[in-house]
Amino acid sequence: MIEEPQEMRSRKMNERLDRVRPAMVAAGIDVLLVSPGSDLRYLTGYDAVPLERLTCLVLPVDGEPFLVVPALELPAAQAVPGLDVELVAYAETDDPYALVGHRLNANARRPRVAGVDDHMWAAKVLDFRHALSTVEQTLAGTVLRELRMRKTPAEVESLRRAGAAIDRVHAAMGEWLRAGRTERAVAADIKDAIVAAGHASADFAIVAAGPNGASPHHEASDRVIGAGDVVVVDIGGRMPDGYCSDSTRTYALGEPPADFTDYYAVLLAAQQAQVAAVRPGITASELDAVGRDIIAAGGYGEYFVHRTGHGIGLDVHEDPYIVAGSARVLEPGMAFSIEPGIYLPGRHGARIEDIVVCTVDSGGRDGGQHGGERLNLTDRQLTIL
Ligand code: ZN
Ligand code: ZN
Ligand code: ZN
């Protein structure tokens, strides 16, 4: 991995902080309180571990940001490349919530509304409520999701690298996925391969054989995979720069059942049509319908039991969600999964999942690319191992 030079990172951070302020004004938020998690990593590059002691970025709309850290975490925070905010360390017996309150109340304009990050621990939210008793709390996500959803070219490149890494694992699936092995053993090998392919961590490996394939989020079990089983394999991890991968392929060990072959063709047509329909201006709801209509017309509508997909970035599930009823208009830079599935309870199931980035609509001049770029490129035809 090529390390980014320090000044490039801090420029990126300042850009993000600059973009967040107008969004705060529009949302009527006076200060953001961001604890460890993807939002903090997005804003500062600091991949802090969420612990009971408070670590929190305090970002006033009209003042300098500062990061409150426990004294014992100070060296770790100081070591973050390009972390260009004032670090405020507190001693073990200090009250960091009161500290934040004092500093904010010293401002000429006292904050009235604080946006707390969507994943802040409830205990910390309540401690802030106590320390900032006149400040109304709201979710920072209303502001941060609008930023995080629109990926920069550098973020898209990160997702492209993540996609290529998980593709390498799918491409080698025959090494591990064999009849006579348990789902659990296969999943363990896949997780090792996810890391070997360049991820920092393997976050999930769904290996769902036979009737287990009808459960979309099946946990790998001790079921021994049989000859003739159809197996749904949904895998992903997090790259060293924090960006996630997520891709599903369905495999057949030997000749698949005839009823399966019928609906797999319907599913493949639906997934292809949805990817082809990705372009700026389409809504999430319309994109969901493109696949759902094809699957319903094939007679399997009642067996497609989940939304089409989810956004992906520093979190494996984030906005935008590709779901019926969502008026979210897709824009260039948005990245999300297209993962329709068909699940026949008690029999088997199938899902095909690619990450797609909405790009500028090329009008199809390049032979089929209408505004979406797939980041997963392994064969989508049923792979018979
Ligand atoms: Zn899922
Ligand atoms: Zn998945
Ligand atoms: Zn997914």
The Cα 114–Cα 32 span in angstroms is 6
What's the CA-to-centroid distance between 237 and ligand 1, angstroms?
13
DSSP string, 218-278: PPP-SPBPPTT-EEEEEEEEE-TTS-B--EEEEEESSSPPHHHHHHHHHHHHHHHHHHHH-
Residue 370 lies in a domain: yes
The pTM (predicted TM-score) of the whole model is: 0.93
Query: Are 188 and 333 within one domain?
Result: yes
pLDDT over 60 (residue 363): no
What's the CA-to-centroid distance between 317 and ligand 1, angstroms?
8
Query: Are 267 and 177 within one domain?
Result: yes
Query: Are 215 and 347 within one domain?
Result: yes
pLDDT over 60 (residue 362): no
What's the CA-to-centroid distance between 197 and ligand 2, angstroms?
17
Domain boundary among 126, 148, 170: 148
- Cross-strand partners of 363: none
pLDDT over 80 (residue 13): no
Query: Are 127 and 194 within one domain?
Result: no
Query: Are 249 and 192 within one domain?
Result: yes
Query: Are 291 and 367 within one domain?
Result: yes
Domain total in the chain: 2
pLDDT 10s digits, 108-157: 788 999 999 999 999 999 999 999 999 999 999 999 999 999 999 999 99
Task: Please state, for a pLDDT cut of 70, what percent of the chain lies above it.
Answer: 94
Domain boundary among 148, 163, 182: 148
Domain boundary among 148, 174, 200: 148
Residue 318 lies in a domain: yes
Q: What is the pLDDT of residue 85?
A: 93
Query: Are 109 and 240 within one domain?
Result: no
Question: What mean pLDDT do residues 157-172 have?
Answer: 98
pLDDT 10s digits, 25-44: 999 999 999 999 999 999 99
What's the CA-to-centroid distance between 347 and ligand 3, angstroms?
22
What's the CA-to-centroid distance between 217 and ligand 1, angstroms?
6
What is the number of the ligand closest to the CA of 206?
A: 2
Tokens matching residue 21: 């302020």
What's the CA-to-centroid distance between 309 and ligand 3, angstroms?
6
What's the CA-to-centroid distance between 246 and ligand 2, angstroms?
5
Q: What is the pLDDT of residue 1?
A: 44
What is the number of the ligand closest to the CA of 170?
A: 2
Domain of 144, in residue numbers? 6-148
Write out 68-118 in H/E/C secondary structure: EEEHHHHHHHHCCCCCCCEEEEECCCCCHHHHHHHHHHCCCCCCCEEEECC
CATH number at residue 141: 3.40.350.10
Query: Are 280 and 378 within one domain?
Result: yes
pLDDT-derived band at 373 (thresholds 50, 70, 90) equals very high
What is the number of the ligand closest to the CA of 235?
A: 2
- Cross-strand partners of 57: 34, 67
CATH number at residue 167: 3.90.230.10
pLDDT-derived band at 325 (thresholds 50, 70, 90) equals very high
pLDDT-derived band at 16 (thresholds 50, 70, 90) equals confident
What's the CA-to-centroid distance between 247 and ligand 2, angstroms?
5
Element containing residue 337 per DSSP (H, E): strand 335-338
What's the CA-to-centroid distance between 234 and ligand 2, angstroms?
5
pLDDT 10s digits, 218-271: 989 999 999 999 999 999 999 999 999 999 999 999 999 999 999 999 999 999
Residue 1 lies in a domain: no
Residue 324 lies in a domain: yes
Query: Are 287 and 348 within one domain?
Result: yes
Query: Are 328 and 352 within one domain?
Result: yes
Query: Are 121 and 159 within one domain?
Result: no
Query: Are 31 and 122 within one domain?
Result: yes
What's the CA-to-centroid distance between 339 and ligand 3, angstroms?
7
Q: What is the pLDDT of residue 232?
A: 97
| Upper half-sphere CA count for residue 326 (Cβ side, 13 Å) | 20
